[in-house]
Structure formats: C-alpha cells, structure tokens
Amino acid sequence: VAPSYAVDVLTVRKRIRTAEGGRLDEVLRSAGIPLNLYCGGRGLCGKCVVEIVRGKVSPPGGPEAALLAGKGFSPRHRLACMLRVRGPLSVRIPRGSVPGKIRVLDAGFAEKFEPAPAVKKYVIAPEAPSLDAPLSLAESLEKKLGRRLALSPEAVGELPGALVRGGGKVTVTVLDGREILDVESGDETDGCFGVAVDIGTSTVVVELIDLNTGRTRGRTASINAQVRFGPDVVTRISHAYEKPEGLSELSAVIRSQIDEMIRELAGKAGVPTGQIYEIVTAGNTAMTHFLFGVPVNTLAVAPFHGVFAVSPEARAGSLGLNVHPRARVYAAPNVRGFVGGDIAAGLSAVGMSGRTGRVLFVDLGTNGEIVLKAGGATSTTSTAAGPAFEGLSISCGMPALPGAVAEARWSGGFKVRTVGNKDVRGICGTGLIDILAVALAKGLLSSSGRIRTETGDIPVAGEVVLTQADIRGLQLAVAAVKSGVRMMIEQSGLRISDLDEILVAGGFGASLNIRNAMAVGLLPGVPERKVVFVGNTSLAGARKLLLSFPARDAIETYAKKIRHVSLASGRDFQDHFVSALEFGPYSGDV
C-alpha cells in the first residue's frame, strides 16, 4: 500500500490526506481548491505557483526553475502541476494562483428582435369533471389552452395534486406550444426562467434570463474548468479520444461547472432552480460535443467534421444539470468543421443573413473565426489563433480581472489603465494589442518581432514585462487571423477596400483600440467608421436564441448554407501566413 501523507494548506487551514505520488494541483483540486491551470498543467504558464512552507520536495527541473526565477519567485515557490507529493507538506497558495471572478466585460451586441420564447406559462382553472361534461382533467386543460398537448405520464400525474393544493387553479408550463414541462399549484406565471450559456474554450459565461420579460437577472463568468486538460481545443480533443475516460471527464467538468454557475446566479437572484425551463448554449463544435458527451474522434482528423450540426434533443436531468429536470438543453447549431455554435449564435445576434453589402465578421477568440458575406453568399473559416488574446499563453497574461492592464499608451514610458483601476497584476487582450502597437511605434520592437531593448524584454509596469517568447506567441496569433482574412478576401475576388463593414466580435471588451489593432495588423486597415465592435456575440446570440424560438430555425437554415473554407488546404496559405508574421498594417489592397 502506498504511504499517505498530510498536505496542510495554510491559506485556508485545511488538511488533505493523499497517497504518495499525487500531483499537487490534483491533490488540491480534489479537496475543492482548484488552481489556475492556464497551460493545462504542462509547466508552461507559471500560473499554478504554490509556496512550500514546510516539507521535503525534489528540486525543480531547469525550465521550471527558470520560469519561477523569471517571474521573481523565491526558491520556496514551486509549480503545483510539476510537483509530486513525496512526504508531508505545508503549503501556502498565493492569491494569483487561484481562479478569480472574471469581470464580464460586455453582454454582446444583438440586433432588435421580437421575443418569442419556446417556453410559456399559463394559469388555468380546469372545469371539474361532471356527469354532464365528462371531460378528463387533461382534456379540460387542452380545451382551456385551445390546443392539443403532448402529455407525459409525469405531468399528468402531477395535475390532480396541484389542483387540490392550488384551490382549483394550476400553472402549466408549456414547451413549443404542446409539451407540458411542469405543473404547479396556484398562479406561478411570474416564475419562468431560462439560461443562456457561452461556452468559450477559455471562458464560460452564464446568464439567467426572465422569459416573461426578456430581462437578464444575473450574469457570471469563469475560466473554463476544462483548461486543466489543455488550454486549447486540440489538446482537449486528444484527451477525449486518447484516454478511456477522457470524454466523460471533459463532459462532467463542463456540465458541473455550468451547473454551479447557474446555482450561484439563481441563489443571488432568489430564483428557484426548478423554475428554469430551458438552457441555450453557444460553443464551438468541440465544446458542444463535450457538453452532450458525444465522441469527438471525427474532429481530430481531416475533414474535421463533427458528429452533429443541429443540436440533439436533450433534457437537463439527463445531463446532470439541476434545473427543472425536463428543461430542454438546446445548443446553437455548428456551422462546419471547427466553426461552431458560437459563431452561428454570433451571426444570429448581428443579423448577418439580413445584412446587405460586403460584411466581414471576425471573432477574436481562442479560435479566430472569420465569416465573409458578399453577393448573397457566405463563407467561413477558422484559424488557430490560440489563447494569446485572452492572455492565457502569455507569461504576464491574464483574463480581464481587476489589475489586468486593459489599455496602454506612451508618455515618456508606458502609461497603463487596469481593470478596476487596481495595482497592475498582468495584461489582458486589449492591453496586449496596445502594448504591441506602442512598442512598434516607439522602436522597442521591430516589425519582425524582435525586442530591441537592452534587457531583452518590454517593461510595461513594475514586474510586468513582455518577453521575446510572448511576442512570438502574439505574432503567431495575429498572423493566423491576418492570413485567414486575406485568404478569405482573396478567394471571394474582393479587395479590402470593397468591404462595407467589419464586425469585430470576441471577449476583448469594448475597449479594444481599433486603431492599434490595425497598426499591428490584427484588423485590416479600413476607415474606422466601417469597424463595429460587437463584443461577445456568442453570449448575445445564445440569449437571442433562448428568447426567440423562430430565430433557431432561421440560424439552422442559414448555417447550412455557409460554405466552409479550409485554410490548411489552400496553396497560398503558407505564403500568406509567413508574410503575415511581419507586424504592421495590412499592405496593399488584396
């Protein structure tokens, strides 16, 4: 039997017993203390630092020691993901190592639409059956509602009791105008809620919505808990099909995370979770497959197709989500390949199918997705931008939490503004773009991406610097999007100057400096009035699809018509990519 040891977590005064050899981050997580694992526990991000106060540990390997020293940590600090428990330990966890609440920067933009939710509540007093009018309870219900109903044995079984408790009055919750989801006693029409979820590869945002009024009752965001299996879609897909339990692990993690976030929101809003009747999610193809527990093997090999495009019919109870057990879980349809429901939801939100002119829609997330609508045809592609824009693969990067540099300019040195005006802790996406643009303009950085300072890094504020490796990561992310946009424009026979509108979506937040984004080459150079920042359209789209049942049909039909362009198979892509590695505005008018 392997010996077991005590791990004392001084920060929260908790003692955990664990078998010898356990990885410290996993030991902590099993005791309800999750750490930031932005790089998925691969020893690269340096976000899972713990301080060893007492106990013997093996010395850090070279890369770990260098990473920790580079970040100014003392030799007592270690990366939890690189440490095996070999004896009793006492540890302290720095604040920066535990996931914080992410400030939800924006709710996303959505065109105006007519609300028409799939779920509606009716209060009725069915006629008591009599000898003259021998209608059954269910028939009398149908008569009152004026429609045929699909009656489940559970719903019918709840009717008599609810009627008695409600003094002859019941509230029935009807889905799609025919299925009874719930029967409650008395008048409960006020309690009709739904949930919209944006399942991003890096961030999950959940919104609680009153289906009667369309109003948002609460919104919360956190880092996608699946990051511990890998920071990007590709590593998570490999985890799902290479490990026997991989898929069920990924499913369980995202389901329980969404469940917890819903519980938190409902608790704060004083909403009974049993009155949540529908959940609409928007996520990329892999995220949606994980949610429903559907194998992703086909996403791992060309032509990278998912098993389904249109959402399977699923109920909350079967997915372990603790809302009303018969609540429906609907996912925005996947478009093609990796272009998933998050983009479909985004296109629904901005009303892409109804927009006239030549419109470029760019979603700057972990996968940079590009959609081009011109001459009545729509095409799309996805680029592997990686999580750099979300600050996750950058040494001082962080999500838009308090203390993250969100804006930067130059005035004899970097002048920064942080989220919440707190002390600088790191840099989020908008800050990274500003810093790149300023560093290029001031000659701290060459357009080839070489840092030109004496120290070899770009000092931003205090300890916060951008290293040469960070710049390389950003260079790849910008180049992925830039070459993708150029290919799409070229293939459609257009020029940049032909574009009437560029819609920029993504979790960047409204403070993305468009001029700086153009200066580094992230966005094509067009007159600024043509660029519209639409924010988190994946969330806005999930909200719209929750509130408008007809919008689901519309986006499912539109998504089927979108042509998918595979960049990897394009002969010119490599050339475009290599030339896009040069920082700077788009050259020419291709």
Q: Interface with ligand FES by CB under 6 A: which residues?
A: 37-39, 41, 43-48, 79, 81
The total of other beta-carbon atoms located within 10 Å of residue 383's CB is: 24
Q: Which helix (H) or strand (E) holds 414?
A: strand 414-418
Least CB distance to ligand FES at residue 64 (A): 8
- Give min distance, CB of 67 to ligand FES, in A: 7
- Cβ 180 vs Cβ 172: under 8 Å: yes
Nearer to ligand FES, 29 or 103 (CB): 29
> Other C-beta atoms within 10 Å of 4: how many?
12
d(CA 372, CA 352): 10
Which residue, 120 or 228, has its beta carbon nearer to ligand FES? 228
- Tokens representing 508 are 């960047």
Kindly state the smallest distance separating residue 508's Cβ from ligand FES, in Å.
23
Conformation bin of residue 528: beta by default, left when phi > 0, alpha when psi is -120 to 50: alpha
- Cβ of residue 231: shortest distance to ligand FES, in angstroms? 8
Please identify the residue of the shown chain whose CB is closest to the bound ligand FES.
81
Closer Cβ to ligand FES, 71 or 217, answer by number:
71
Q: Closer to ligand FES by CB, 77 or 482: give it.
A: 77
Nearer to ligand FES, 43 or 88 (CB): 43
In the complex, minimum distance from the CB of residue 345 to ligand FES, in angstroms, rounded to a whole number: 30
Q: How many CB atoms lie within 10 A of CB 43?
A: 17
Q: What count of other Cβ atoms lies within 10 Å of the Cβ of residue 30?
A: 12
Supply 98's token pair. 């535990």
Instruction: Tell me whether residue 43 or residue 186 sits nearer to ligand FES (CB atom).
Output: 43
Residues 6+ away with beta carbon under 8 Å from 128: 168
Q: How far is the CB of 33 from ligand FES (least distance, A)?
A: 14
> Is 81 or 435 the residue whose CB approaches ligand FES more closely?
81
Are the beta carbons of 461 and 424 closer than 8 angstroms? yes
Toward ligand FES, which CB reaches closer, 36 or 367? Answer: 36
Q: Which is nearer to ligand FES, 37 or 279 (CB)?
A: 37
**Smallest separation, CB 45 to ligand FES (Å):** 4
Q: How far apart are the first and last CA of the chain?
A: 67
Nearest C-alpha neighbor of 24 from the set 12, 41, 10, 44: 41
Nearer to ligand FES, 79 or 282 (CB): 79
Quote the CA–CA distance of 346 and 369 in Å, as a whole number.
Answer: 11
Integer Cα distance of 491 and 364 in angstroms: 21
Show the beta-strand stretches assigned E in 262-376.
Answer: 276-283, 314-315, 328-331, 359-364, 368-374
Helix residue ranges, H only, 492-536: 514-520
Write down the least CB distance from residue 366 to ligand FES, Å. Answer: 16
Output 46 or 449, the one with its CB closest to ligand FES: 46
On whether the CB atoms of residues 347 and 359 are closer than 8 A, the answer is no
Query: Do the Cβ atoms of 207 and 257 come closer than 8 Å?
Result: no
Distance in Å, CB of 559 to ligand FES, minimum: 35
Least CB distance from residue 89 to ligand FES, whole Å?
Answer: 17
197: CB partners within 8 A, 6+ apart: 204, 205, 206, 207, 258, 279, 280, 281, 282, 283, 542
Q: How far is the CB of 471 from ligand FES (least distance, A)?
A: 19
